[in-house]
Every structure is written in structure tokens, then in C-alpha cells.
Amino acid sequence: MSSNAVLVTGGAGFIGQHLTSKLLSKERRVVVVDDFSTGKPLKEHPKLTVIEGDISDESVRKEALTQVKSVINLAAIASVPLCENMPEVSRRVNYLAAQSLFQEASESGVSAILHASTSALYGVPKQLPLNEKDPINPIGNYGLDKQKAEDALLSIKQSPVCALRLFNVFGLGQQRGSPYSGVLTIFSERIVQNEELTIFGDGHQSRDFIHVNDVVSAFIGCLEDLEKNGIYSKVSGKKFNVCSGESMTLLDVVDSFSSYTENEIVLKFKPPREGDILHSSGSFDSLNKAIGWTPSTDFSERLQELLL
């Protein structure tokens, strides 16, 4: 076991590539496990080890855990439609494999276990902004399986653990045309290609968009605090929102994009999709109080780079 190695499952995915790059820049050794079903090849690095495999495979988990000090679980089926269409796969990856990983990591004596949870656990909010004390009521297979995984993690008392509930993450590196892409990536792609934008509903639905760089800083901040303070860390055994604390409607997003392109933006409105949440925004006060984390990315600047 390397004294500073970190296992990043799903490390070839959108968030994983950014997190892996940042950890390597901090002179950490990184072990990535990814089946590359959606992830991209990683650049070679002397401190990077890549294990191609599925975290549902016990032998893959065992091989990875023997090499690391800490664990960050990003591996997931993150597409809500895919989880609805393939409930067995959603359960296997988003819940059962994660549960096994957490238990085996704890038994191996790692210094920290972090998990990428989701704001989808809240379901339809009764009030905004959402905080971690609000009741959860996930909708559909994705939210339910992610809730079970989070519960499994936080039931571990003998190891330093932490779950981060990510809101709508955006930034460079999301695969365009992928069912995993967020609305900002989809919109930017279609604007560049002079294609119309489809909006389900009236466009007044709002989301809390958080840049991937801020998500990475939250993971690293919690990781370092857990490794330093163990189960006495202020983040150990807890879940935290990772969000911007601001909400933006889809029409506001379109207006912002229009400021950075000469292409005409044509909107096509369709009926709302069943199960879609109208409004979502979160509070990051708890994570700020625990480790001083706050989002620092300029939304407009990062939105503009999606069009380049």
C-alpha cells in the first residue's frame, strides 16, 4: 500500500479525469478503476496506474484496494433514462458494487472513503435552498440506488467516510452527444452546430449549476481533512451539498449563451417530461463551516468556454 495513493473509481469519466489530474498535480499517486464504457483514455503519468475493469468485479476491487491509502468512488450509471431502462444494471453498479467497495475498503484499513452522491436524493423539494437536514424522497431507480449507496457508506462507523451530494455539474470534458451529458453541454453543442435547442416545459425550470473545478476542490478538501483527522474529522460520517448556492432558469442559460455567440439560437418547446423536477438549488453552508469550502468559479466565464 502506497502511503499517499488514492483510488478513484470512474476516474476516466468527466469528473474523474479532472479529479485525477488535480491529485497528480499534488504529487499524489492515483489508481484509477474504470471500465471505459463512457470514459476517455487517460494520459500516461509515472504516478498513475489504470486498472480497466468493473467495480462490480470483486477481483478488480481487491487488486485496487491493495495499492491505496484512500478511496474516492465516482463510478456510477449517471444517466437517469438508462437507469430506468436498465434497473438491474443501476442496482448492480450504483448500489451493490458501491456497498461492497465501501465495506472492503473499510476492512482493508484505508484512511478515507469518499462517495459521489447526488442532489437527486431530495426528489421534489418542499422549500429552497436545499440543505442536508431536508427530507429525502428520491424519484426513480437512479435516486433510489444512490440513496442506498449513501446509506451504506454512512453506516460505516469504524472508518472516516463522507458523501458529497453533487448538484448539476458542468465544465469541459463532458462527452457531447452522450446520454450522460448535462444540459449546458447539450445546449453548447447544438449552438455550435447551429441546431435548435429543445426545452421540455416553459424554460422557467431552474437548476443549481456547479463547475467541475469546484467539485474537485470539494473532494480534495474533504479527502485531506479525513486523512489528517480520521473519524474525528468534521466531515467524517456526514453528507454535504456541493453546489453554487444559486439557481438559474433554462431561459437565463440561453440568454447567457447568446451573449457569447453570433449564431442564432432557435428554441423548440416540448411538454414537460414526467418526473422532471421544476426547481432545485442548494446551500453549501455546512461544507463551508466544516472545511471552509466555497465555490470560486465564475459561471459566465466557464459557460463561454463551452462554446470554444
Residues 66-79 have a mean pLDDT of 97
pLDDT in the model for residue 180: 61
Over residues 224-241, the mean pLDDT reads 99
Closest CA to 45 of 12, 21, 19: 21
How many domains are there within the chain? 2
| Whole-structure pTM value | 0.96
Asked if residue 1 belongs to a domain, the reply is: no
Cis peptide before 129 (omega within 30 of 0): yes
Tens of pLDDT, residue by residue over 151-200, are 999 999 999 999 999 999 999 999 766 666 799 999 999 999 999 999 99
The CATH number assigned to the domain holding 28 equals 3.40.50.720
Angle at 236 between CA 30 and CA 68, to 5 degrees: 20
pLDDT digits (tens, 9 = 90+) for 122-146: 999 999 999 999 999 999 999 999 9
Q: Which H helix or E strand runs over 301?
A: helix 299-305
- Helix-helix angle 98-107:58-65, to 10 degrees: 40
Q: Are residues 269 and 148 in the same domain?
A: no
Least confident span in 28-32, 150-154, 180-184, 223-227:
180-184
User: Does 292 fall in a domain?
Assistant: no
What is the pLDDT at residue 117? 99
Residue 273 pLDDT? 84
Answer yes or no: do 79 and 164 share one domain: yes
pLDDT band for position 3 (50/70/90)? Answer: confident
Q: Give yes or no: residues 148 and 196 share one domain.
A: no
pLDDT at 186: 94
Residue 288 falls inside a structural domain: no
**One domain, residues 129 and 140:** yes
At 1 the pLDDT is 58
Rounded CA-CA distance 129/131 in Å is 7
pLDDT at 109 over 80: yes
Same domain, 78 and 107: yes
Distance CA 225, CA 219 (A): 10
In this predicted structure, the answer to whether residue 71 has a pLDDT above a threshold of 70 is yes
Provide the pLDDT confidence category of residue 274 given band limits of 50, 70 and 90: confident
Claim to verify: residue 216 and residue 157 sit in the same structural domain = yes
| Same domain membership, residue 231 and residue 96 | yes
Q: Do both 135 and 258 map to the same domain?
A: no
Whether residue 2 has pLDDT greater than 80: no
Please give the pLDDT value at position 255.
Answer: 97
Considering the domain architecture, whether residues 138 and 163 belong to the same structural domain is answered as yes
Q: Is 29 a member of any domain?
A: yes
Q: Mean pLDDT across the chain, nearest whole number? A: 96
- Same domain? For 116 and 178 the reply is no
Please check whether residue 287 lies inside any domain of the structure: no
Range(s) of the domain holding residue 188: 174-207+246-280+297-307
Does 290 map to a domain? no
